[in-house]
């Protein structure tokens, strides 16, 4: 019999400024971390006094913020050879044509993408990959996160076979995972998975209390394909005719009709053709959205009506998408782009990158802000906003977007650290 591992020693992490996001800023603030979770928060003087003998890691000229929550990403694409942007249908066609070549380097790309996320302050990441192929790289990265296993029903004879196969895969992948890493199902998109398979997958996920990820209302071509049945080539991207389009409604209405939308669903993009009526459907069904504005811009997919969705109470988080449609895995950089696009203030921006992402994924009790009881998931950023400054949140968001993350801690464990504490 092996003895149980000794509980890790408590540690106090402290910084010149702590922005908990869900509570007011704390100057010279500190967290007591026990067993990976936040046991106390307050001024360093107080936390230090109450916990004599506990190791202190103090970054006096840095700011501590919650770790970024990436609500939609693909780890398995590499930097530097993205298919050409501008047209979504042309991009996705080229992507599909390169799938055989991609097999050789997907694991390396996934490792690199995960590392980049870690080094830019992400602590929770949502990956979508075919049959969950990027799970090993997420699991070894130190990140908390979920891999959504995509499936493609055209590879099977019946919807039952298609869904059975992905379901079996998901259940197998769940065996022996590190803590805080999970696997769920993804219905890739309205133009790649037929309605019967989509409905069946969603019904089974929902019955089990699982979650679901989908791409929805992303491109003009998708809107056209669902509405009219034509999609400038999108209706046969795998060389198989997708004959279920042309239903005369928006992708959001279509997804609602086939049972894909409930509070456990995260819908990525919602960029093109999202009407007032669609936003009402999103609000009524309680579905959450992942906003990926840089990918939308690269692929000519318009601008997601995020202010309107937030105004109607739709939960919105941020996603980087993958390196074939987006310039980086830096979620803070993605968020700063959204802040400028929609005219948000720094406070909203910092929330979008952290707490709102956690809410969108239904994990706000566990992460997304610096609060007692949550996991100690945070980033230490090279920024020291002066007291009485205009917006410390904006200053820190800009620094984090620009490579200013110096330390990333997930579940109390430093997974990235390029500075010595005390010297900052």
Q: Which is nearer to Zn ion, 321 or 393 (CB)?
A: 321
Compute the least distance from the CB of residue 72 to Zn ion, in Å: 6
**Within 10 Å of residue 291's Cβ, how many Cβ atoms?**
31
Compute the least distance from the CB of residue 41 to Zn ion, in Å: 35
Compute the least distance from the CB of residue 93 to Zn ion, in Å: 16
| Residues in contact with 253: Cβ distance below 8 Å, sequence separation at least 6, in sequence order | 277, 278, 281
Compute the least distance from the CB of residue 215 to Zn ion, in Å: 5
Q: Which is nearer to Zn ion, 237 or 384 (CB)?
A: 237
Name the residue number minimizing CB distance to Zn ion: 321
Catalogue the E-assigned strands of 152-287. Answer: 181-187, 212-216, 265-269
Residue 189 to residues 237, 268, 323, Cα–Cα distance (Å)? 12, 10, 19
Separation between Cα atoms, residue 189 and residue 82, nearest integer Å: 20
Paired sense of beta strands 378-381 and 55-66, if any: antiparallel
Q: Which is nearer to Zn ion, 267 or 379 (CB)?
A: 267
Q: Which is nearer to Zn ion, 85 or 229 (CB)?
A: 85
Q: Which is nearer to Zn ion, 321 or 421 (CB)?
A: 321
Phi, psi dihedral angles at 23 (to 5 degrees):
-150, 165
Binding to Zn ion (CB under 5 A) within 321-360 occurs at 321
Residues counted in the chain? 424
Burial of 416 (C-beta count, 10 Å sphere; 0-12/13-18/19+): buried
Binding to Zn ion (CB under 5 A) within 298-327 occurs at 321
Compute the least distance from the CB of residue 73 to Zn ion, in Å: 8
The three-class DSSP label of residue 251 is helix
Binding to Zn ion (CB under 5 A) within 14-73 occurs at none
Burial of 257 (C-beta count, 10 Å sphere; 0-12/13-18/19+): middle
Determine contact, residues 398/101, Cβ cutoff 8 Å: no
Interface size with Zn ion, residues (CB under 5 A): 1
Q: Which is nearer to Zn ion, 278 or 321 (CB)?
A: 321
Compute the least distance from the CB of residue 404 to Zn ion, in Å: 27
Paired sense of beta strands 316-318 and 288-291, if any: parallel
Per the structure block, which two tokens stand in for 132? 């969950």
Crossing angle of the two packed helices 346-353 and 392-401, in degrees rounded to 10: 50
Q: Which is nearer to Zn ion, 167 or 321 (CB)?
A: 321
Compute the least distance from the CB of residue 299 to Zn ion, in Å: 10
Q: Which is nearer to Zn ion, 272 or 369 (CB)?
A: 272
Compute the least distance from the CB of residue 292 to Zn ion, in Å: 7
Per the structure block, which two tokens stand in for 179? 């803590």
Largest CA-CA distance found in the chain, in angstroms, rounded: 69
Q: Which is nearer to Zn ion, 150 or 235 (CB)?
A: 150
Query: Which alpha helices (H) appear in 346-410, and where do they start and end?
Result: 346-353, 355-360, 392-401
Compute the least distance from the CB of residue 290 to Zn ion, in Å: 8
Residues of this chain that interact with Zn ion (CB under 5 A) are 321
């Amino acid at each position: 019999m092996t003895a149980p591992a000794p509980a890790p020693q408590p540690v106090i992490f402290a910084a010149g400024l702590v922005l908990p996001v869900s509570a007011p800023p704390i100057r010279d603030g500190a967290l007591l971390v026990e067993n990976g979770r936040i046991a106390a928060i307050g001024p360093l003087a107080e936390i230090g006094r109450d916990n004599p003998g506990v190791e202190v890691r103090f970054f006096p000229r840095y700011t501590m913020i919650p770790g970024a929550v990436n609500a939609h990403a693909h780890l398995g694409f590499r930097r530097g050879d993205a298919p050409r942007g501008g047209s979504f249908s042309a991009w996705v066609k080229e992507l599909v044509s390169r799938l055989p070549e991609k097999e050789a380097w997907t694991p390396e790309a996934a490792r690199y993408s995960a590392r980049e996320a870690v080094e830019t302050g992400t602590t929770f990441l949502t990956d979508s990959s075919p049959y969950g192929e990027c799970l090993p790289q997420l699991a070894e990265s130190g990140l908390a996160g979920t891999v959504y296993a995509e499936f493609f029903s055209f590879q099977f004879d019946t919807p039952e076979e298609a869904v059975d196969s992905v379901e079996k895969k998901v259940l197998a992948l769940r065996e022996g995972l590190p803590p805080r890493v999970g696997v769920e199902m993804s219905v890739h998109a309205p133009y790649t998975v037929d309605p019967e398979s989509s409905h069946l997958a969603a019904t089974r996920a929902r019955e089990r209390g699982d979650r679901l990820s989908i791409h929805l209302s992303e491109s003009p071509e998708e809107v056209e394909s669902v509405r009219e049945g034509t999609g400038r080539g999108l209706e046969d991207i795998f060389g198989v005719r997708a004959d279920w389009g042309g239903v005369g409604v928006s992708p959001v209405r279509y997804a609602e009709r086939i049972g894909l939308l409930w509070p456990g669903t995260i819908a990525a993009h919602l960029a093109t053709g999202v009407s007032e009526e669609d936003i009402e459907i999103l609000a009524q069904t309680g579905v959450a959205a992942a906003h990926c504005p840089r990918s939308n811009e690269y692929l000519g997919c318009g601008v997601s009506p995020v202010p309107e969705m937030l105004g109607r109470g739709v939960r919105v988080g941020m996603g980087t998408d993958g390196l074939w449609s987006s310039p980086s895995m830096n979620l803070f950089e993605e968020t700063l782009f959204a802040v400028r696009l929609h005219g948000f203030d720094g406070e909203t921006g910092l929330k979008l990158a952290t707490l709102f992402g956690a809410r969108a994924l239904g994990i706000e009790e566990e992460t997304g802000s610096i609060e007692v009881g949550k996991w100690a998931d945070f980033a230490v950023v090279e920024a020291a906003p002066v007291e009485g400054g205009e917006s410390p949140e904006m200053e820190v968001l800009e620094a984090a977007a620009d490579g200013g993350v110096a330390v990333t801690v997930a579940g109390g464990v430093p997974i990235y650290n390029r500075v010595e504490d005390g010297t900052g």
